[in-house]
Amino acid sequence: MKVILTHGYFLNEDPSELRIMKPYPPLGILYISAYLNEHGIENKIFDTTFSSKPQLKKFLVNEKPDIIAFYVNLMTKLNVLEIIRFIKSTHSLESSQVILGGPEVRYNASDLLKHGADFVVIGEGEETLLELIQKIIQTSNKDFKEIDGIGFKDNAGRIIFNAERNLISDINTLPYPNRNGIDLSKYQDAWKKRHGQNAISVSTMRGCPYTCKWCSRAVYGLTYRRRSPDKVVEEVQKIKEDYNPDTIWFVDDVFTISHNWLSGFNEELKKNNFKIKYECITRADRMNEDVIKTLKESGCFRVWIGAESGSQRIIDAMDRRVKVEQVREMINLSRKFGIEAGTFIMLGYPGETEKDIEETINHLKKSNPHQFTITVAYPIRGTEFFQEIETNQVNVFEWEKNTDRDRDFVRTYPRKYYEFAVRRVVNEVKFHQSKNNSLINTDVFKLKFKSIAAKAGMLWVRKSQWMKLN
Dump the DSSP string for 275-322. Answer: ---EEEEE-GGG--HHHHHHHHHHTEEEEEEEEE-S-HHHHHHTT---
pLDDT at 428: 96
- 217-244 per-position pLDDT tens digit: 999 989 999 999 999 999 999 999 999 9
pLDDT at 155 over 90: no
Highest mean pLDDT among 124-133, 388-397, 458-467: 124-133
Q: How many CA atoms lie within 13 A of 304 on its CB side?
A: 19
Supply φ then ψ for residue 460, to 5 degrees.
-60, -45
- 21-55 per-position pLDDT tens digit: 999 999 999 999 999 999 999 999 999 999 999 99
Provide the pLDDT confidence category of residue 466 given band limits of 50, 70 and 90.
confident
C-beta separation of 115 from 109 below 8 A? no
Which CATH number does the domain housing residue 336 bear? Answer: 3.80.30.20
Residues 120 and 14 in one domain: yes
Q: Give the angle 355-433-429 at the CA atoms, nearest 5°.
A: 25
Classify residue 470: in a domain, yes or no: no
Residues 144 and 251 in one domain: no
Mean pLDDT of 263-280: 97
Classify residue 23: in a domain, yes or no: yes
Classify residue 418: in a domain, yes or no: no
Q: At 62, is the secondary structure helix, strand, or coil?
A: helix
pLDDT at 440 over 70: no
Residues 53 and 98 in one domain: yes
Domain boundary among 377, 393, 419: 377
Give me the sign of the Cα torsion angle 208, 210, 215, 218. Answer: positive
Residues 233 and 134 in one domain: no
pLDDT at 438: 60
- Lowest-pLDDT choice from 147-151, 208-212, 315-319, 338-342: 208-212
DSSP letter, residue 71: E
Mean residue pLDDT across the chain: 95
pLDDT at 265 over 80: yes
Provide the pLDDT confidence category of residue 142 given band limits of 50, 70 and 90.
confident
Question: pTM here?
Answer: 0.94
pLDDT at 244: 97
pLDDT at 435: 76
Mean pLDDT of 417-424: 97
Number of domains, the chain: 2
Residues 6 or more apart whose CB falls under 8 angstroms from that of 180 comprise: 242
How far is it, in rounded angstroms, from Cα 62 to Cα 464? Answer: 56
Classify residue 407: in a domain, yes or no: no
- Lowest-pLDDT choice from 128-137, 246-255, 458-467: 458-467
pLDDT at 75: 94
Mean pLDDT of 144-167: 95
Q: Give the angle 190-402-182 at the CA atoms, nearest 5°.
A: 30
pLDDT at 444: 85
Domain boundary among 377, 408, 438: 377
pLDDT at 403 over 80: yes
Mean pLDDT of 134-152: 89
Mean pLDDT of 278-293: 98
Pairing state of beta strands 150-153 and 119-121? antiparallel
Residue 60 parent element (H or E): helix 53-63
Mean pLDDT of 314-331: 97
Mean pLDDT of 167-171: 96
Residues 39 and 157 in one domain: yes
Classify residue 465: in a domain, yes or no: no
Task: Tell me which residue range forms the domain holding 115.
Answer: 3-161
For the chain, give the percent of residues with pLDDT over 70: 99
